Amino acid sequence: MTHWLNIPADTDFSIHNLPFGIFSVGKNSPRVGVRIGDYVIDLEQLRKFGLLAVPRNVCNQANLNAFINLGKNKTSAIRLQLQEWLRQENSPLKRYFNQAFHPIASVKMHLPVKVGDYTDFYSSLEHATNVGKMFRPDNPLVANWKHVPIAYHGRASSIVVSGSPVIRPKGQIKPADSAVPVFSPTKEMDFEVEIGAIIGKNSVLGQSISTTEAESYVFGLVLFNDWSARDIQRWEYQPLGPFLGKNFASSVSPWVVTLDALAHFRTETPQQDPEPLPYLAFEGKRNFDIELEVNLIPQDKQAYTISRTNFKYMYWNIAQQIAHHTINGCNLKIGDILASGTISGQKPDSYGSMLELSLGGKQPIVLDSDTQRAFLEDGDTLIITGFCQKDGIRLGFGEVSGKIVASN
Catalytic hit among 102, 110, 127, 325: 127
Q: Is 127 a catalytic residue?
A: yes
Mapping DSSP onto H, E and C, the string for the chain reads CCCCCCCCCCCCCCCCCCCEEEEEECCCCCEEEEEECCEEEEHHHHHHCCCCCCCCCCCCCCCCHHHHCCCHHHHHHHHHHHHHHHHCCCCHHHHHHHHHEEEHHHEEEECCCCCCCEEEECCCHHHHHHHHHHHCCCCCCCCCCCCCCCEEECCHHHEEECCCCEECCEEEECCCCCCCCEEEECCCEECCEEEEEEECCCCCCCCCCCCCCHHHHEEEEEEEECCEEHHHHHHHCCCCCCCCCCCCCEEECCCEEEHHHHHHHEECCCCCCCCCCHHHCCCCCCEECCEEEEEEECCCCCCEEEEEEEHHHCCCCHHHHHHHHHCCCCCCCCCCEEECCCCCCCCHHHCCCHHHHCCCCCCCEEEECCEEECCECCCCEEEEEEEEEECCEEEEEEEEEEEEECCC
Catalytic machinery residues: 127
